[in-house]
């Protein structure tokens, strides 16, 4: 049996944050319920022969913003159509839609890990980016999640309007004081077409400089380390998320829902970004069969984001001698920036700030 990760995309939120370019938005209950029916249909249509599911990630959007009965319908469909041997089952949400009742329901469904979008614990920053919660909502939510006994992760962002290095350091300490076992820290990507991009363009809001944003990220990394949450991937610290590690190691996965990506049975496919099209069954937009060389290059690109780096034996067994020789000759040309031993090739920590340009050499 081959291991498979399952991703479910719930594209609904209580309101749209000014910086967000994800397939997500506000919808009414009728749309949400037709959407759940469409996901259940897509799950039922998947030929699961030969697969055993070891991770599930319900993300979005904001899965906690919909009724937990909707989540139950989807989980029951997964349980019916797949053989499960779960090592991790995550649900993602935002601070004011997690409740004790929902958490209890998720636990009954098998969830063992919760992720919450904190972003910042400064009310002026939160308001400037259009978050619907306050700093105290986020602190109460972290407490609620910790009290549940589940594994807890929090998302933070740096490079936001009104953020200073001191504000970020204080926020990071408060987040980690809660005792969480995992933090993701993202540098703001100013996506074109978002409300934040136009507020910055018309001078209403000012962003910290790139150098300041790098200092903020480094501060979060340093503070996380002090709490025992070591960086294992560019944006992630603490006990690794098994589902995401699966993506970075090119494990097979099946994504269900609007805009969800999949990679299984040697094929990559992407669902439509259009919610109505998805609901009416017009799901797939691209379908491609990557070559071995493409997969090898993608494996390098993704593994080099991990602090552990590329597992040389795994690479060789998956992609063969030719890809191995090509990869080693590029690695030797980049030896100054890389740590190479018998088992792994990784980017030296002091060069992680130029990791993208090092990784590009392998593509």
Ligand X SMILES: C[S@@+](CC[C@H](N)C(=O)[O-])C[C@H]1O[C@@H](n2cnc3c(N)ncnc32)[C@H](O)[C@@H]1O
* Contact residues for ligand X, defined by CB under 6 A: 19-22, 60-62, 92, 94, 117, 119, 155, 157, 186, 188-189, 191
Nearer to ligand SF4, 54 or 155 (CB): 155
CB under 8 Å to 67, separation ≥6 — which residues?
Answer: 32
* Phi, psi (deg, nearest 5) at residue 185: -125, 120
Question: Is residue 24 part of the contact set for ligand SF4 (CB under 6 A)?
Answer: yes
What is the rounded CA–CA span in Å between residue 279 and residue 41? 10
Q: Can you say how many angstroms the Cα of residue 57 is from the centroid of all Cα atoms in its chain? A: 9
In the bound complex, what is the minimum distance in angstroms from residue 159's beta carbon to ligand X?
A: 8
In the bound complex, what is the minimum distance in angstroms from residue 316's beta carbon to ligand SF4?
A: 39
Residue 246 binds: one of ligand SF4, ligand X, none (C-beta under 5 to 8 A by kind): none
Residue of 22, 247, 270, 324 that binds ligand SF4 (CB under 6 A): 22
Residue 16 binds: one of ligand X, ligand SF4, none (C-beta under 5 to 8 A by kind): ligand SF4
DSSP label at residue 154: E
Residue of 20, 40, 154, 216 that binds ligand SF4 (CB under 6 A): 20
Nearer to ligand SF4, 61 or 255 (CB): 61
Looking at the DSSP bridge assignments, the partners of residue 10 are 60
Question: Is residue 94 part of the contact set for ligand SF4 (CB under 6 A)?
Answer: yes
In the bound complex, what is the minimum distance in angstroms from residue 21's beta carbon to ligand X?
A: 6
Nearer to ligand X, 21 or 298 (CB): 21
Residue of 8, 51, 53, 62 that binds ligand SF4 (CB under 6 A): 62
CB under 8 Å to 98, separation ≥6 — which residues?
Answer: 64, 114, 116, 141, 144, 145
In the bound complex, what is the minimum distance in angstroms from residue 13's beta carbon to ligand SF4?
A: 3
Long-range pairs for 290-297 at CB < 8 Å and ≥24 separation?
292/319, 292/320, 292/323, 293/323, 295/250, 295/319, 296/323, 296/326, 296/327, 297/362, 297/363
Q: Pick the piece of the chain touching ligand SF4 (CB under 6 A) from 10-18, 241-249, 287-295, 328-336.
A: 10-18
Nearer to ligand X, 259 or 262 (CB): 259
In the bound complex, what is the minimum distance in angstroms from residue 167's beta carbon to ligand SF4?
A: 19
A 10 A CB-CB count for 226 gives 10
Question: Is residue 10 part of the contact set for ligand SF4 (CB under 6 A)?
Answer: no
Nearer to ligand X, 171 or 319 (CB): 171
Helices marked H in the chain: 29-45, 68-81, 100-109, 123-128, 135-147, 165-177, 195-201, 210-226, 242-248, 275-279, 292-303, 312-333, 355-360
Name the site residues for ligand SF4 (rule: CB under 6 A): 13, 16-17, 20, 22, 24, 60-62, 94, 117
């Amino acid at each position: 049996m081959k291991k498979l990760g399952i991703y479910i995309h719930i594209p609904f939120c209580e309101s749209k944050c000014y910086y967000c370019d994800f397939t997500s938005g506000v919808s009414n209950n009728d749309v949400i319920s037709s959407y759940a029916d469409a996901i259940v249909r897509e799950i039922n249509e998947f030929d699961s022969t030969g697969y055993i599911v070891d991770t599930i990630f319900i993300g979005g959007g904001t899965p906690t913003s919909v009724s937990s009965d909707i989540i139950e319908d989807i989980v029951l469909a997964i349980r019916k159509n797949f053989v499960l041997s779960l090592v991790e089952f995550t649900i993602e949400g935002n601070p004011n839609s997690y409740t004790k009742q929902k958490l209890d329901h998720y636990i009954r469904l098998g969830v063992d890990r919760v992720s919450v979008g904190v972003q910042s614990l400064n009310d002026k920053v939160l308001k400037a980016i259009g978050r619907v919660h306050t700093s105290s909502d986020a602190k109460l939510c972290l407490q609620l999640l910790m009290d549940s006994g589940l594994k807890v992760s929090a998302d933070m962002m740096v490079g936001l309007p009104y953020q200073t290095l001191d504000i970020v350091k204080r926020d990071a300490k408060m987040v980690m004081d809660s005792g969480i076992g995992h933090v993701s820290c993202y540098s703001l990507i100013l996506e074109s077409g978002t409300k934040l991009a136009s507020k910055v363009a018309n001078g209403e809001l000012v962003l910290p400089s790139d150098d300041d944003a790098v200092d903020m990220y480094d501060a979060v990394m340093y503070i996380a380390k002090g709490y025992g949450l070591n960086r294992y991937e560019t944006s992630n610290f603490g006990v690794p998320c098994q589902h995401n590690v699966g993506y970075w190691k090119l494990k097979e996965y099946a994504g269900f829902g609007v805009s969800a990506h999949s990679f299984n049975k040697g094929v990559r496919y992407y669902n439509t970004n259009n919610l109505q099209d998805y609901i009416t069954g017009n799901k797939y937009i691209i379908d491609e069969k990557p070559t071995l060389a493409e997969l090898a290059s993608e494996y390098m690109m993704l593994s080099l984001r991990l602090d552990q780096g590329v597992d040389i034996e795994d690479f060789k067994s998956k992609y063969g001698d030719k890809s191995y020789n090509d990869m080693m000759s590029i690695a030797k040309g980049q030896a100054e920036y890389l740590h190479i031993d018998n088992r792994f090739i990784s980017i030296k920590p002091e060069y992680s700030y130029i990791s993208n340009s090092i990784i590009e050499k392998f593509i």
